[in-house]
Amino acid sequence: MLFSQRHSQVPAIGALELTTLKLLWASPEPLDARTVHEALASRRLTLSTVQATLERLHRKHLLTRMKVSRAYFYAAAMTRENLIGSLIRDVASRITEGALEPVVSGFVDLLGTSEPELLDQLQSSAAARRKERE
């Protein structure tokens, strides 16, 4: 099965951006820059660095934001699983011209040698999805 080359690629995500996304995924509600800054205090970042990071992620369409009074509150625009799926789709498009079989095969090989219990979970999940589609 080939994926369309028309899918937009996920923009590059830096280490601080990924840390910020993880923080927002873990939060049950949107966060403002000050709250994110406080949560990342151990990294010794300035508030302006955190604000710039949030703005970059918003421009990359990885965050949504809404203005409340004078502050923006940010939330992840996609789930972690959706982001991973998009990244895999991008790899398939670039490396295998969109063919998904080599990507899945490589992943199954990796699980079979490093984490066989996850391979069992994958098999169960695949069976459940097949039943949902019937």
Is pLDDT above 70 for 130? yes
Is residue 98 pLDDT above 80, yes or no?
A: no
DSSP string, the chain: -B--TTSPPPPP--HHHHHHHHHHHH-SS-EEHHHHHHHTGGG---HHHHHHHHHHHHHTTSEEEEEETTEEEEEESS-HHHHHHHHHHHHHHHHSTTB-HHHHHHHHHHHHHH-HHHHHHHHHHHHHHHHHH-
| Spans of all domains in the chain | 15-76, 80-133
Per-residue pLDDT for 1 more than 70?
A: no
Tell me the mean pLDDT in the region 86-111.
85
Higher pLDDT, 3 or 68: 68
Percent of the chain whose predicted confidence (pLDDT) is above 90: 55
pLDDT tier, 35 (very low <50, low <70, confident <90, very high otherwise)? very high
43 has pLDDT over 80: yes
Task: State if pTM tops 0.85.
Answer: no
pLDDT exceeds cutoff 60 at 50: yes
| Percent of residues, the chain, with pLDDT higher than 70 | 93
Check residue 96 and give its pLDDT: 85
What average pLDDT does the segment 13-21 reach? 96
For residue 123, how many C-alpha atoms fall within 13 Å in the half-sphere facing its CB?
Answer: 9
* 29-38, 71-80, 81-90, 95-104: least confidently modelled range: 95-104
Sign of the dihedral defined by the CA atoms of residues 74, 75, 80, 86, in that order: negative
Q: So what's the architecture of 15-76 in CATH?
A: Orthogonal Bundle (1.10)
